[in-house]
Amino acid sequence: MPKLSLYAEIAAVDYLQETGQADLDARWIAGYFQDAGVLDEYPRQDLVAFAEMVQKALDKEVERIRNAAIFVPDNVIPLGKPRRRT
């Protein structure tokens, strides 16, 4: 049985890939909660508490992506062949 935090992290990544938004949609998480098997694995788990876990994981993922984008140097050398100017 996967840990509940793993379900939350996977849900955050899936949501970000599908929607590209940082604010969790209630309908989306309710569907994920039921369809991904979270409800089957953790029948006593509250949907609202799970949504809060996913939002927290989503915030961490968005922050990680922002930090990665900040630290990309502007002067990256392209690896392809240089184009010939005519």
Give the pLDDT of residue 85: 66
- Using the predicted structure, report yes or no on whether residue 79 has a pLDDT greater than 90: no
How many degrees, rounded to 5, is the angle at CA 70 between CA 67 and CA 76? 130
Give the pLDDT of residue 66: 87
Give the pLDDT of residue 53: 96
For the residues 18-29, what does the mean pLDDT come to? 94
Look at 8-12, 16-20, 67-71, 73-77 and tell me which has the smallest mean pLDDT. Answer: 73-77
- Using the predicted structure, report yes or no on whether residue 24 has a pLDDT greater than 90: yes
Radius of gyration of the chain (CA): 19
- Residues sharing a CB contact under 8 Å with residue 9, sequence separation 6 or more, in sequence order: 57, 61
Q: What is the pTM of this model?
A: 0.77
